[in-house]
Amino acid sequence: METQSMQVVSDFLIAVQQGNQAKLASSLHPDIEWSQPGNNRFSGTKKSSAEVFKMVGGMFDVSSNTLALTDVKVLTANGNSVACLVHWKAVQPNGGILDVDNIDVYTVENGQITKAKVYSADVAHEDEFWLK
């Protein structure tokens, strides 16, 4: 189970880095529950893959398409739960810079991610970057 879960998440993160929309869509369960930290326009719980894609699309808009997953530092599993330490960067046209580590915890069931909980190393920095 751990090997399969790790592979699903690894493939998902590679798809994020490559912008592989088809792989992203097939990796997320349609009824995924995605929890985004902070107090900004993208914070809160998303209840479907459509809501997740809307959130990410908004992040790309706000960052002028510069949002990038620049590093996957750690990827580890416990049963069907996979935790990873990742690094994100983005730049806004006004000069705002996002440069932050996140710990993401994914739950994998039947080959798809059914839950994602994101923890930010610097929530205040993310709130300032993403605003309300």
DSSP state, 95?
S
> How buried is 18 (Cβ within 10 angstroms: 0-12 exposed, 13-18 middle, 19+ buried)?
exposed
For residue range 80-110, what is the model confidence (pLDDT) as tens digits? 999 999 999 999 999 999 999 999 999 999 9
Q: Which residue has the higher pLDDT, 117 or 2?
A: 117
- Domain of residue 64, residue span: 2-130
- Mean predicted confidence (pLDDT) in 59-74: 96
- Tokens representing 122 are 């610097």
Number of domains in the chain: 1
CATH of the domain at 95: 3.10.450.50
